[in-house]
Amino acid sequence: MLKSIARFTTPFFILMYILSLLTNEVQFLFGVITNYSFCNNVQHGEEERHLNTIHSCVIHLWPDAKEHLEFIRCTEQQSLKGAPVEALWKGCSEKLRLNEEIINKCYTAGFGYKLLLQYANETAHLKPPQEYVPWVVVNNQPLGQDFENFVKYVCQAYKGDHKPAACNAQSSNLSPTIYTLPQPPVIPVVDFYKLALQWPPSVCSSTLNCKLPIPTEFKICGIWAQDAHDMPVPPYNARKPCTYPQPILTRPPLQQLLSGDIALWNQLPTLWPDLVLIGSDFEFWFKEWMKHGTCSDFAQHPLSYFQSALQLRTNLNSAMGLTRGSTYTVQQVVDTVFRFIGASPQISCSKHKRTNVLLLGELFICNGRPRPSYIFGRPQNCSNLFYGRCNSGSDTIEFP
């Protein structure tokens, strides 16, 4: 019996590889993570929790890692394509013949949510603590960025007689001991930036309770540092600093800095407003900065971070060539925006809270890393075209 316990939190795609090598010999523990970032979009948060809860149920109901991982992998793959949560997990349960009814019962009875909280708590209490994703630990030794070579560590830790075949395959390059693992500092790798824009008439009729009057031009919701897998680069963490000295992490110095630039300070509330009725603009900017700016190329230059977002937005057409009151396919929206900016945007749909009609909610414009002067070049194609509730170019959406 293998004593090693490898702990993973998503992304799940590496897990199939692991599975094929080690099958039942490794135990997995999943944590709750946020893969994606949304502006104010509560609904997306709910969808994510829905899916995490379903995963918790499936892990509990099918403790065999081969079964539940296959399911999780299936749902992750589908969700990257942007399928609605309910359809995607049901599709996966059908495909893998895992009884949909008992999963649903676990979910609706509230048991799944209890499991989820329990897993989240386990993840939060990992020793040593989890710092990023995926977080792989063998016999309590975090593998850090060497996680892809976890097979080596598992094999080294294996004390039984019959080594799994996967170990023999690479026994030649095992290093003598597992306890001298290098622990490189984690430098989150920024690959590109996403300017996240929201269309107020859509988000205010789907997920947000907004201040009046509701603006009718695209408003900034953030500028996000993304890695090469289109995942948000994690925010600053003092235990594994991504930058030195520590960036601004509290409100007063940020406010002082931003308000010192009169032009910026005057423009921000117009172009980057918090649409939420009870929201505060500065609080919104601060949250976005903390989450998406503190480990970006702008970590030491918050002023440039906000200036460049405004600059990017100012260069754009206020409705991107789209006509209010029209119905488009997602592909038509992509094509229209493409004509304006010369690059494919990413589209995120939301659902009207009363009519359930799909709306164009958010639009993401992708940009390569800024030049040394903190100025962005021309937009580039976004790698994923859909997001949220639309999952195909032929989905019909309204532009209210």
Ligand X SMILES: *[C@@H]1O[C@H](CO)[C@@H](O)[C@H](O)[C@H]1NC(C)=O
The site for ligand X (CB under 6 A) is made up of: 118, 121-122, 125, 344, 381
Smallest gap, in angstroms, from Cβ of residue 369 to ligand X?
A: 16
Smallest gap, in angstroms, from Cβ of residue 197 to ligand X?
A: 19
Smallest gap, in angstroms, from Cβ of residue 334 to ligand X?
A: 8
Tokens describing residue 400: 């209210």
Question: For 232, which DSSP code?
Answer: B
User: What values do phi and psi take at 137, rounded to 5?
Assistant: -130, 130
Task: Please identify, using beta-carbon distances, which residue of 122 and 146 lies nearer to ligand X.
Answer: 122
Give the amino acid at 147. F
Smallest gap, in angstroms, from Cβ of residue 339 to ligand X?
A: 11
Give the amino acid at 387. Y
Q: Are the C-beta atoms of residues 144 and 183 closer than 8 Å to each other?
A: yes
Task: Please identify, using beta-carbon distances, which residue of 135 and 305 lies nearer to ligand X.
Answer: 135
Q: Are the C-beta atoms of residues 209 and 264 closer than 8 Å to each other?
A: no
Give the amino acid at 73. R
Task: Please identify, using beta-carbon distances, which residue of 8 and 158 lies nearer to ligand X.
Answer: 8
Task: Please identify, using beta-carbon distances, which residue of 67 and 122 lies nearer to ligand X.
Answer: 122
Smallest gap, in angstroms, from Cβ of residue 21 to ligand X?
A: 29
From the number of C-beta atoms within 10 Å of its C-beta (0-12, 13-18, 19+), residue 319 rates as middle
Task: Please identify, using beta-carbon distances, which residue of 99 and 381 lies nearer to ligand X.
Answer: 381
Cβ-based neighbour number of residue 123 at 10 Å: 18
Smallest gap, in angstroms, from Cβ of residue 335 to ligand X?
A: 8
Smallest gap, in angstroms, from Cβ of residue 18 to ligand X?
A: 24
H helices of the chain, in order, are 13-22, 42-61, 65-80, 85-95, 100-108, 111-124, 150-157, 165-169, 200-206, 251-259, 262-271, 281-288, 302-314, 330-341
Instruction: Decide: helix, strand or coil at residue 342.
Output: coil
Task: Please identify, using beta-carbon distances, which residue of 121 and 256 lies nearer to ligand X.
Answer: 121
Task: Please identify, using beta-carbon distances, which residue of 57 and 98 lies nearer to ligand X.
Answer: 57
Closest CA to 47 of 71, 83, 8: 83
Smallest gap, in angstroms, from Cβ of residue 78 to ligand X?
A: 23
Q: Are the C-beta atoms of residues 57 and 111 closer than 8 Å to each other?
A: yes
Q: Are the C-beta atoms of residues 247 and 236 closer than 8 Å to each other?
A: yes
Instruction: Decide: helix, strand or coil at residue 308.
Output: helix
Task: Please identify, using beta-carbon distances, which residue of 121 and 209 lies nearer to ligand X.
Answer: 121
